[in-house]
Amino acid sequence: METQPAQPRIVLPSNGTLLKWTNYISGWRERYFEIKHGHLLYYISKEDQSSVCRGSISIKSIRITLHEFNDCEFMVSVGEDIAWHLRAENTHKRALWIKALTQDSNDSDYGTNSPKTHSSNTSLSSLSLDRKTEVQDQDISSHVAELEAYRTMCREQMTSLRRELQQIGVSQARILCINAIHIAMLDNINQIIAFAKNQNAHRTQDKWEPCTPLSPRAYIAITNRR
């Protein structure tokens, strides 16, 4: 009787680096994550482990959602208050992280820093994941609020810049040109905010109204016609 070859084993991560979405101003930032004592923790960097972690969630309570379009992204959330948007280096590494997070929280490997190994014939597709394609209302509202804050900051900075340009003697024509570009940028932000709110309001009806951002050239042309 022939001996069956041993199944190759895969190593699941217990720590490592992932990209984490911060906000619309800072965007994606590299963070160091660790699975420890039944929790997922993250730090600014690996060297930052000596200090207090920046965030911690119970693995028993997390809900994992795959991104609809990006095969490297996923979201881990707890209830309606906590949602971490994460991005792995590639699809394979995302699958390994998800499998590590969805293991039984009573696994004897939890609470240790040793990497967990499992037979590779365990189907990753059998994981109980929520594959919903829409972002939660609260999450969208949070991002919209960040954009609105960024828009306010841009307006204030442009007012200050215009005043400084006048003080150093920059020509009015040049100031108007810069101002037109700035207004066009704000209009683009307004269009994005309107689109996000519109999509959130009409998602159940499966429809949305297109919003086309204006380029600086188009905005100047419209302004000249007024």
pLDDT per position as a tens digit, 82-100: 889 999 999 999 999 999 9
User: Does the predicted TM-score (pTM) go above 0.75?
Assistant: no
d(CA 55, CA 2): 51
Instruction: Please report, for the chain, the start and end positions of each structural domain, with discontinuous segments joined by +.
Output: 9-126, 137-225
Longest dimension (CA), the chain: 93
d(CA 91, CA 110): 24
**Whether CATH 1.10.260.40 fits 9-126:** no
- Is the model's pLDDT at 123 over the cut of 90? no
Selection from 94, 109, 138 nearest residue 14 by Cα: 109
Q: How large a percentage of the chain has pLDDT more than 70?
A: 67
**Token representation of residue 71:** 């095969």
